[in-house]
Amino acid sequence: MKVIIDTNSLLSLVRYYLPFDKENLLFNFIKEKIEIGEIIIIDKVYEQCTYNAKGLILKQLAFLTDKSFLKKSKTPYKTDSLIAPSPAKFLRMVENQFVVGVQRKKINDVEFEVKKNQHLEDADIKLILLCLNLIKNEENVYLVTEETTGGNDNKLFVKIPLMCRELSIKCITLPKLIKLYLDDFELHFK
């Protein structure tokens, strides 16, 4: 199993879960899963972690600043050369299915192209692309995000869960990930 995690989920982990992890069981479990490459943090998410909430994520998950840990775990996962398994089809989906029609009508074609190209370099799309490539290689993949399908904050493109639904990517929240790992987690620490 491979778990690709977004910035908001890591932030939820450090804000709402780790403060109650007095024996560091969850902390050590997450660290181990990152170290063995089961939980993947991509470069764009890692970059967001450095400035999101004043670096709280990297302060709480200090192993993510340890150069030997990063090298051993191959973290962060480099996404600069990631492409979709079917690039033309994926680009059409970005332009048609993943765009919010109401917002698209508010901008001209040139502005749309600029925003589309920015979006294609964004963490959200890189998370999706990595999932698609892992699925193509027959991996069991979960994308973990705290985003919901409701509301889009007047953004031009839809949120991660809607893209995942369209692309048949398993998308879950952090609590569902912890529940998914629960048996493994309990066995690991007995």
Q: How many domains does the chain have?
A: 1
pLDDT tens, position by position, 135-183: 999 999 999 999 988 777 788 999 999 999 999 999 999 999 999 988 7
- Residue 22, Cβ neighbours under 10 Å: how many? 7
Q: Are 104 and 70 in contact (CB under 8 A)?
A: no
Query: Tokens in use for 38?
Result: 């089961």
The whole model's pTM is what? 0.92
Integer Cα distance of 81 and 7 in angstroms: 21
Statement: residue 190 has pLDDT above 70: no
The CATH number of whichever domain residue 133 belongs to comes to 3.40.50
18 lies in which domain range? Answer: 2-188
